[in-house]
Chains A and B, each alone.
Chain A
Amino acid sequence: MVCLRITDLRPAVDPLVGTVTRDRLGVGLTPADGAALEHALRIADAWSGRVVVVCVGPESVEPVLRDVVALGVSVVRVPLGDEGDGHRYVAELVEDERALARTLVAAIAPFGRPDLVLCGDRSADRGTGAVPAYLAHELGASQALGLVSVVAESALDGAPWTLLVERRLDGGWRERLRVSLPAVCSVEGAGVRLRRASLSGALAATDPTPAAGSTGTTSAAVASAANPITAGPGSIHVGPTRPFTPRTRILAAPADPDPRVRLLELTGALVAHDPPTVLHPADASEAADLLLAFLSRHGYMDEIPGATRPSPVDGDVEIDGDGQAR
């Protein structure tokens, strides 16, 4: 099974409130997702297995799924809300990865329990890479994340199938792991590129009325792109939190001809600092107001947003004097 996160590859992120805006024209497979699918196809060839692709997403990802169907694999799409007129998701699905993992597992239940689940290790729109770990938990499978190579070992008679995988370590080292099944692996977008579908596969994927088994592929497409299997949305609860990222403040370069003075100016070594201010606001909205006031006083915000105020922060807020909110 391959889990794909199909989304805008270049989503616009509001630098102030972190809202992710996706353009439906930008949807595509990330290199990591493409690599996951390619690994899956190679392993399925080696084991004479079958590949099922599952994806949570709105209808706008269907052109990408059609390209995936062209490769002769089965595709399941779990529908996700509608995109609204501004192509914005109201809910940030990725913020509850555990619910997402449960949804994915439920969606593929009709196909039986997968021996191997492959995912890309990152997505372009704030993915945290935690879904594979939750999937492993839900399936009771072993996990190996962030891999650069996945090779199916040829099984000796009677011995269980295993995978030989590699991942990067610090300092240019790599570690090699042997993974037993069932397993969940996430792969980097490196080393392999997704193969291109054959012309007949691509044509078959566009066929509005596919005849059963007409594609002649080993794993007959059970779902055409025109009518992919869609599973129920499951129980996905999405919290209201959003990260707050202040705008970068651009400072003029020091102009003094003396390099030493410039260095001192840059490091701020001789500048007197305000002592850190510890604030004890009574409630969350007051804390937010204080933070916003601080940021705008120090030139990080052009204007204080009225309607798009960042979410409340609980507890004490410590702000130090050099313009960084911590």
Chain B
Amino acid sequence: MIADGREVRTFASLRFRREREQSWIELESLVDQVRLEGLRSLSSEQVERFPLLYRSTLSSLSVARAIALDRALLEYLDNLALRAYLTFYAPPLDVLAAARRFALYGFPQAVRALRWQVAIAFAALAVGLFSGFVLVNGNEQQWFGALVPSDLAGGRGPASTAAELLSTEIAAPVPENVFGAIANGFFSHNTLVALLVFGFGLLAGVPTILLTVYQGAILGAFFALHYHRGLSVEFAGWVGIHGVTELLALVLMAAAGLRLGEILVFPNESSRTDAFAIHGPAAAKVAVGAVGMLALAAILEGYFRAAVQSTDARLAVAVLGLIAWGVYLRFAGREAPT
């Protein structure tokens, strides 16, 4: 009975597969070749064929969905179209070129897009700084310990004398293990807070503001401590040499965190996940750049601060740093592509 099977009229999906099959197999071999040997391994004819085959396979998929009930075929075409799409639309990126483009254009542009959030973060930091200073000034016993965690104070406090502060803190020598000191600088309280300030943006931005104010208050408390002992200028130099960069990074992180909170609370026309997909990367760009600034601040803090002992020189670095960051963030990458 099997032997005398007779020919019947070929039906649509059977014919469709016979006619298109070769082009799918060709595309599949190209996709595999790129996956294993990279885009450069394609010959010029293959490069020409690829988009044609890709588009014809997409059309095959649409046709198959409309006419074919063969599940294996549908799954194969879906999978092939996806793999070809990933090869076609997600080519590998040049890491160095991407980094360069980010530093020259992406980061300053993203910061400028967040100018309101930056202003709010600055205001929060200033409020904290001011209140910390006012609270601690003249009230050290009561407020310094309440505002500054004891580990962060590192023995400094109402009991410290001006001479102690000068010798152990402001004029401390270059540490023996520079890498360790830089690492300590990076993983200091401030960096962690900066990163958390960004992450907490996902909690609608409220903890972001609170933490930023609190950071300002800690700094204000330290400032009051030194002011009271006639060391304000020395302290300004000691903090400023890296603090300008570090605090600016903190403010940018807070601004990015506020943006995240804004997206979460006001997704506008789109769903929240869509709103994050559209606006999230711009906020993240600011945070990424700020992490770079934090690393720079850690190098300044761990090595250069101790290497440069003159308060005047420290202040000069701080002022120059402030100007440089201001000019960079305001003017860099203005006429260039995003």
Q: Do A and B bind each other?
A: no
Residues of A within 8 A of B (CB): none
